[in-house]
Amino acid sequence: MMRPRFALVLLGFVLWAALPHLLTRHMTDLLVFTAIYTVAGLGVGLLLGQCGIVNLGQAAFYGIGAYSCAYLTVELGYPNVTGFAVGAAVSVLIALVVGWPVLRLTGYFLALATLALSIIASSIFYEWDWLTGGELGIGGIPKLDFFGFKLDTPGRFYYLAWGVAFLSMLLVSNLVSSRTGLMLRGMRDSSEATASLGVDLQWLRTRVFMLSALLGSIAGSLFAHYVSFTSVQSFTVDKSIGFLLIPVLGGVRSLWGVVLGAMFVTILPEMLSQFGDIHQILFGIALVAVVVLLPDGLMGLLRQAAGKLGWSRVSA
């Protein structure tokens, strides 16, 4: 007899696999963006939910990942994988160099410092047009392919994007339930006490920031290969705020909350666009409503609903 939990997971998998065949191309496209934003949002959520660090700099790493792929494949003709690797390495290195001094700050000062990182990166993306193409951007980024199978439609890219998102969720879940996760939560609750127990807070924060940057970079690389075009408008401070909203809206301490948050910022605006000019106002109202009415985010709402229905728990 099949266990209910396994049956539920199997059903979810079948539904996930079938979605591109059931949905319109446009909806599948939105789900691809949901997956990409989930990867970037996971990094921000890890910092926020486990360390209490507000990161407003994720667009910088998202941009580095995207431009690495764009420059290396289009301008220099390197294979696709090189862009992912170089973007990841550069992002992790910058996170180390910037994070080491900056992560000594706390609270608003740290949030402002990460915001400054995003502003500086945005300016560099604009000014270094020899590398980024400036306002014109870089087009013609090749589609990813696996052994000749080209991921050139939303339906095909969907599986890769969600595969990366699920893998990232699994890795973050491993981290949160490990001894590193324990130290992170200790640091969030009382940094003074955690330090007194032999935990090097500075190095711990920096490593998590590096991991967050890595996820941001991978998301940016996926984005570049999916849309085949990068421009400065995609990596502004607005994007960093959007990435921060993802875990805040979904629920900062829940991996699935990040997915819900990513859906909120990608799918809801599209649904509201049918209302014409006021759609952005409506999105703003929805955003404020979630933040004010749902302190535990959308995942908290789901948990409440599950509790009322008598289900044992909704997995974090």
Partner 1 sequence: MSGDILKLDGVGHRFGGFTVLRSVTLSVPERGIIGLIGPNGSGKTTLFNIISGYLPLQTGTIEFRGLPLTTQSVPDRNRSGMVRTFQTPKIFERMSVLENIMVGACKITRTGMIQDLLSLPHARGEMRQIRSLAERVAGEFGLAGDLPASTLPAGQRRILEIARALAGQPKLLMLDEPSAGLNREEMQQLIAAIRRINEAGLAVLLVSHDMELMAVASAVHVLNFGEIIAKGNMAAIQQNANVREVYLGV
| Sites of contact with partner 1 (CB under 8 A) | 171, 174-175, 178-183, 185-186, 188-190, 192-201, 207, 211
CB of 181 or CB of 269, closer to partner 1? 181
CB of 34 or CB of 194, closer to partner 1? 194
CB of 225 or CB of 253, closer to partner 1? 253
Q: Closest separation between CB of residue 173 and partner 1, Å?
A: 9
Q: Closest separation between CB of residue 3 and partner 1, Å?
A: 22
CB of 82 or CB of 180, closer to partner 1? 180
Q: Closest separation between CB of residue 201 and partner 1, Å?
A: 7
Q: Closest separation between CB of residue 193 and partner 1, Å?
A: 4
Q: Closest separation between CB of residue 63 and partner 1, Å?
A: 24
Q: Closest separation between CB of residue 183 and partner 1, Å?
A: 5
Tokens of 39: 């990867």
**Token match 């008598």: residue?**
310
CB of 69 or CB of 201, closer to partner 1? 201
Cα gap 267→292, rounded to integer Å: 21
CB of 195 or CB of 282, closer to partner 1? 195
Cα gap 74→78, rounded to integer Å: 8
Cα gap 92→40, rounded to integer Å: 14
Tokens of 178: 């490990």
CB of 101 or CB of 284, closer to partner 1? 101
Cα gap 34→40, rounded to integer Å: 10
Q: Closest separation between CB of residue 243 and partner 1, Å?
A: 21
Q: Closest separation between CB of residue 80 and partner 1, Å?
A: 24
Which residues contact residue 294 at a Cβ distance below 8 angstroms, ignoring those fewer than 6 apart? 300, 301
CB of 127 or CB of 200, closer to partner 1? 200
